[in-house]
Structure 1
Amino acid sequence: MTRPRASRSARRATWRWPCCWAAPASPRTRGSTPGETAVWPCSRSMARRSPRSARSKWAACRRAWSSAPTGSICTSVTTPIATSPSSKSTGRGSPTPARSSSCRASLLRCAGGLSRRTALPVTPPLHRAFLERALPLFQADARLAGLAVGGSFITGAMDEHSDLDLVVVSPPETSRDVLRDGSDIAQRLGPLLAAFPGDHVGEPRLLICLYGPPLLLHVDLKFISTDELSRRVEDPTILWDRDGALRSVLSTSTAEYPRPRFQWIEDRFWVWVHSIAVKIRCGELFEAIDGLAFVRARVLGPLALHQAGAQPNGVRRVEQRVATRVSALRSTLSLHDPESCRDALVATVALYAELREQLGPPILVRRSGAEHAVRSYLARADGNGGAS
């Protein structure tokens, strides 16, 4: 089996994992293209002077690397590799890593997938700089099992305006201590301007942080245990996995984002519409506008996104993912004006009725009595100009 060629500059290769070393990829390398960096496993025996022993160990490690599942392990912070001045090349100009305690991984560990590199999406400079600064601090905390990132990082849609959604995972026996020390952990990661828990969205394990200046960065830190990681709405990208616990959980469980509950919506929708109509008639237009926004985020947006096969998360990126519904959703917006609020409410009812007809399951129990009464109330309110 042919080894990848490496120039003298490969002596400046970097450690990705204790049992891996990076070298310029060869066009003959499996799954690589010229210019990429291939991460190859090594073992302590590769530093021996025997070329035959080194070649056999290298070949075994390469076979393990080839059989490892794609994306099974992430990259970690890179540190300069130590090369021994007295060590000889193991063949074809490849550098020999110096003996060190970090290179004691056995072939069994290599076969477990520790050497496979995860391809990360393009990350804005501000976000990447934060991760490069924060990751060693997380790794230094012995209570933690690993670090993952979710949100737009997963899809590669991250830009300079995106939040950074970090998932800080710890074993069950230390998770309470880590959650209690969340503010202290956040303080160590950078210039923290403000931080508060996400209890207002029903998630006390979430710590919402703002870092800066000169540039401001919104970072969400979610502190969970490995057991809680199995109950998730998305599959995060692993940035660091101390003992493989995160990879194990992700491979043995499935992420499931909550789908719209049609019966739950139908049972409440007409009551919400009547409440908004009453606010309009009473002149509480700010309350009515808030009610319209609530229904749009909890009902119309999720149903439209669900119909398009997208994640039904409120009205997030609905302009890009459901462009055909933008006009109808725009009609549910209102000005601080009674007539504008009534028109927006009528448009809200019309759009919901259309989505219900297209998406509602056959077993849906329609609240026909409530629907008829509320529609009649809206018609009377519109007929007398909103007078009570």
Structure 2
Amino acid sequence: MSIGRPASELPELSNEEILRYSRHLIIPEVGVEGQRRLKAARVLLVGAGGLGSPNALYLAAAGVGTLGIVEADVVDVTNLQRQVLHGTKDVGRKKLESARERIRDVNPHVKVIAHDAWLTSENALEILSGYDLVVDGTDNFATRYLVNDACVLLGKPNVYGSIFRFEGQSTVFCTADGPCYRCLYPEPPPPGMVPSCAEGGVLGILPGLVGLVQATEAVKLITGVGEPLVGRLLLVDALGMQFRTVKLRKDPRCPACGTREIQALIDYQQFCGIRGDETEQAADGVPSITAGELDARRRRGEDFDLIDVREPHEWEIGRIEGARLAPLSTFAEALRTFDSARDLVLYCKSGARSARAVRQLQEAGFRRVWNLEGGILRWSEEIDPSVPRY
């Protein structure tokens, strides 16, 4: 069963479009009607990053008539390893601008609707209501729950994908008979429990793998061909190059689509325990020191221990001179080697992990401990640019 308009209301294809999509038209399962359905379709991409990039490129190339994109970020050089929708010339530019330009080059027949905003409880229903289905390319739990609940309320299929390091997953949520995201994850994990891609990393090719699965599912839903990933979660292991699926069932007790079906959107930042960014949460109430203050103490020759709590592979990228490595993953073992009578300054990449390490030291009775605000990134930006940013 396909989504969207009835066959009698589908737009016609021009001769130019017939030529462009000829390899689709000669597939019996797609044919002219399937291509007309693609032309009539309105798909919303939430995010123009790692997952949004392959989705935008291939859905545009396939002939999806209208692509909406929700994105408020700008292109950063660290995006280019995986966000192939953007190029080096786009660094510092709005992602929406570079995305629109690239999509226009891929297929000028596609209409791009830019939503220059972060998706929130206030705007989600209004934005999503104008589309046939949603492709979720977000990288945080608050927006995933928001997209899910909005799709449940509006009855829109949610083509889900997520990635981390070498692993990914994808499925189709929020169909009439299938489960939703909350059937799988009723509640979010505690803040900081699951590292973000910025902290844990991601193989740059992996968003291409998972994003193309999402794009394929979107095309199948639009044209009505094949068996969509409804009630099945596809798990991708890029290291072993293995793909497997596990069954998902609609949970009758689901707080979103079950017997207590959700009636309105909530505050998803609060629901996920988010009061700001991850660094602000972790550092809340932790004694801190700025990069400038640390630099001044070093210049004065003050005696203190500088502790790097990142992992060994991050240490190899670059470090602050004079630091000692004590990874947070094995911090309990290193803790007994610290001298509580000395001043200790801890740092990580951005300040989140080192804040947690400071708390461990405080719980162990240490009082002369500080967390470097903004971590090694802030140190590189403000004090020593020779230290690589990553």
TM-score in terms of structure 1 length? 0.27
Higher radius of gyration, 1 or 2: 1
